[in-house]
Amino acid sequence: MANSAVDNAIAFSRFAFIILGYIRGLIYGHIRYSVSEEMDIGAFIGNIAEDLRLNLPQLSDRKFRLNSDDGGRYMKVNLDNGILSVRERIDRELLCGQAAMCTIPFEIILENPLAVYRGEVEILDVNDNSPTFRDSPIALQMSEAITPGVHFPLESAEDPDIGLNTVAVYAISSNEYFSIKAQKTEYGVVNAELQLDKPLDREMQSAFQLVLTATDGGIPQKSGTAQILITVVDFNDNPPIFDHEIYKGNIREDAPQGTLVLTVKATDLDEGLNAELTYTFSKLASPTVLELFSLDPQLGEIRLEGELDYEEVNSYSLNVQAMDHGSPAIATRSTVLIKVTDVNDNPPEIKVTSVTSKIPENAPPGTLITLINVIDRDSGENGQFHCDIPKNIPFRLRNSSKNHFELITSKMLDREVVAEYKVPFLARDLGSPSLSANETIQVVISDVNDNAPRFGASSYNIYVMENNSPGSSIFAVTAKDRDMDQNSYVSYSFVENLIQNFPVSSYLSINSMNGTIYVLRSFDYEKLKNFQIRVQARDAGVPPLSSSATVNVIILDQNDNAPVIVSPSEQSGSSEEESVPQSAGQGYLVTKIIATDADSGQNARLSYHMVKATDPSLFKVGQNSGEIRTARNILASDATRQTLFILVKDNGQPSLSSTVAIHIAVLENITEKVTETGNVLRNSEHFTDLNLYLIIIFGCTSFLFLVIILLLIGIKCRQNTNISQDYISSSCCGGPNYSFNRRPEMDETLRYPGTGRMMRAPVAHHYSVCLSPESAKSDFLFLKPCSAPASQANC
């Protein structure tokens, strides 16, 4: 059916062109035929004989020839009927391509006469070709950055047909982004262009697959399609985007090097290099921070590279940047906050500031000694701490603030007990495990003179043998002072005192440095048996402290006195005569020898022995009593004068003795009583020295008493009289005025009451205690008046 329709069309055209050709042939001497392409072989083109009005029989006679440009390929003439027909199928597109007019010129040549006719056969187009695309699919690359409206020329579809039969319309499969703009050129070619209607976004759609359809204008229409593959080329239009606006990380301050803190991550919607990211720290960060952390440029891992110290910096803020590799590159920033968490890595630090180098031992409780500053550079519990010192010391801590402590005394101190303290001060923080620090605080106690020197005993007994040699040391006292240095330097002295009216210093001296006591004189037990002095020890502190001890000097007796026979008194070795009645019987007490010994004890224990007698059998002497008694009755034959030699000896070692001769007269009529009276009288005549002294002392005392009474009366009577004298001269036994300690300025006028007469007091005499050369022998102290300086030299 289709073919018949085509044939009809061809027939119609042929007809039309024959008419036309005929007319033209007439006009131009030309014949022109037209025939559709693709006609079957033998298809009629034109009747040349008829059109050229040639006689059919003449054709062969006139050697009719068809000379066509195609070399007789497509057409042939039937010489029998002069019809030009298709010899071979004609493809117009092959023959003429896209030329708008496709003709095959030919010549008809006749001879006899020669006649040449020119003509041509126009090949008419038939829509026998569909539009075709040479390249399918058509690959296109478009940057996503191009703006809508831009045209992309497309390769036109090819349709060898011409005119209406060639490509007339392009269409594209429905889509949002692209449309086809077709334009017909002046040569009748339609050029198609792809127009972008809407911005592309690779990130939304990175590729399009479209179908381009080209349709010709023939009847029936023919069309061809091609695929358009559009790849959207990425444009670096997307910045990298971090997962978080702010990254927060924690890291312990003791984290080792290389510890991963956190990872930053950014994504870029672009692709390829545009999506390849490099992480860096912002250049604004300080160099120290840059050294402390590293950032892996590809992985975005932030790692610790240095050592952290919470106490120095407890948080870090970093700016990280992610930059893609597009061109131009786009960068994005994000902030990373890294918090350092505290680890108890700092022990408390103790700083001690001494207020005083030494604290006096009398410092009252509460005295400040040392300021202590404790710091723990950790925070929180790790930075809190407890401070402590031992309880058993006289110090305590006072906290003046959280970090400041004061070491103060809590009790009275005593250097003599503890002179120096080493106070361990311990500070321990509350972290876990807790760290501690300690410091030893040295507290030196300085001495205060709070201890008096102490003697080893409160009293000492010193035994000194009489007749000692003066100048020798007899004892040493020692007092210790528990203080130190000057406060402990002890010096010794005697507390002044009179011993038998003489100052102590005349008896003894003491080495003030070491307490050695020296005796200055030779003692006589018979005069001074003991005395007491007080020794004072005094330190060199300010003010000084002192204490004293009693020293009892006990003088020991020596047998240095021979017995002294008191009665019967002896004159030139023999006593006066005793008498005994002849009638006296055995045991009659003739006389009693009284002897004394100035020594004491055994040295004074006397015993009596008869060493020689006229008649040793007549008398005997009581060994202990000294009584001389008759040993038997006196006989008439006995001599009337008897002499006995009695030895009185003491019990000393060696013993001393005296001898007395006793003369006894044997009387015939004498009474006992007379004898006794005589004895008594005789006894009273022989005063001992002791008795003499006693009498003198008694006399002096009485005289003094009298004078005092007189003076008192005088003062009372003369109250108005200004008597400035506080010293009254006294005379003893009419001798010169003896006075000790009398000062020269006391040499003043005395006004005796009642007399109204001024009396000049005698010039004072100075008496010194002198040891006479004989004293070594006699052991007596002699007082010598030293009234003149010259005589003083003798003393």
Query: C-alpha distances in angstroms, 3 versus 6, 94, 126, 240?
Result: 5, 21, 12, 66
* Least distance CB 402 / ligand NAG (angstroms): 5
CB atoms within 10 A of CB 109: 16
DSSP 263: E
Phi-psi region of 708 (alpha: psi -120 to 50; beta: other; left: phi over 0): alpha
Under a CB-based contact definition with an 8 Å cutoff, are residues 119 and 25 in contact?
Answer: yes
* Least distance CB 483 / ligand NAG (angstroms): 21
Q: Which is nearer to ligand NAG, 327 or 401 (CB)?
A: 401
Q: Which is nearer to ligand NAG, 516 or 768 (CB)?
A: 516
* Least distance CB 511 / ligand NAG (angstroms): 5
| Phi, psi dihedrals of residue 55, rounded to the nearest 5° | -75, 130
Q: Which is nearer to ligand NAG, 353 or 722 (CB)?
A: 353
3-state secondary structure of 49: helix
* Least distance CB 403 / ligand NAG (angstroms): 8
* Least distance CB 537 / ligand NAG (angstroms): 14
* Least distance CB 514 / ligand NAG (angstroms): 4
* Least distance CB 406 / ligand NAG (angstroms): 11
Q: Which is nearer to ligand NAG, 514 or 586 (CB)?
A: 514
| Phi, psi dihedrals of residue 11, rounded to the nearest 5° | -55, -45
Q: Which is nearer to ligand NAG, 514 or 625 (CB)?
A: 514
Q: Which is nearer to ligand NAG, 424 or 754 (CB)?
A: 424
The residue type found at 763 is: V
* Least distance CB 436 / ligand NAG (angstroms): 5
The H or E element spanning position 36 is: strand 30-36
* Least distance CB 405 / ligand NAG (angstroms): 9
Q: Which three-class secondary structure string do you get for 363-395? A: CCCCCEEEEEEEECCCCHHHHCEEEECCCCCCE
Q: Which is nearer to ligand NAG, 53 or 422 (CB)?
A: 422
Q: Which is nearer to ligand NAG, 198 or 402 (CB)?
A: 402
* Least distance CB 401 / ligand NAG (angstroms): 5
**Tokens read off for 670:** 């004498």
Q: Which is nearer to ligand NAG, 52 or 374 (CB)?
A: 374
Distance CA 151, CA 503 (A): 148
3-state secondary structure of 168: strand
Cα-Cα end-to-end distance for the chain = 194
Q: Which is nearer to ligand NAG, 400 or 741 (CB)?
A: 400
Under a CB-based contact definition with an 8 Å cutoff, are residues 492 and 537 in contact?
Answer: yes
Q: In terms of C-beta density within 10 A (0-12 exposed, 13-18 middle, 19 or more buried), how is residue 557 classed?
A: buried
Query: C-alpha distances in angstroms, 769 versus 505, 524, 530, 779, 785?
Result: 11, 15, 19, 13, 9
Q: Which is nearer to ligand NAG, 397 or 610 (CB)?
A: 397
* Least distance CB 382 / ligand NAG (angstroms): 18
Q: Which is nearer to ligand NAG, 64 or 385 (CB)?
A: 385
Q: Give 693's contacts (C-beta < 8 A, 6+ positions apart).
A: none
Beta strands 436-446 and 358-360: pairing type? parallel
**Tokens read off for 731:** 């005379």
* Least distance CB 602 / ligand NAG (angstroms): 33
Residues binding ligand NAG (CB under 6 A): 399-402, 426, 436, 438, 476, 511, 513-514, 516
Q: Which is nearer to ligand NAG, 516 or 775 (CB)?
A: 516
> DSSP string spanning 450-501?
----EESSSEEEEEEETTPPTT-EEEE--EE--S-GGGG-EEEEEEP-EETT
* Least distance CB 242 / ligand NAG (angstroms): 47
* Least distance CB 518 / ligand NAG (angstroms): 9
Under a CB-based contact definition with an 8 Å cutoff, are residues 658 and 564 in contact?
Answer: yes
The H or E element spanning position 509 is: strand 508-510
| Phi, psi dihedrals of residue 181, rounded to the nearest 5° | -115, 120
Q: Which is nearer to ligand NAG, 248 or 402 (CB)?
A: 402
Under a CB-based contact definition with an 8 Å cutoff, are residues 476 and 517 in contact?
Answer: yes
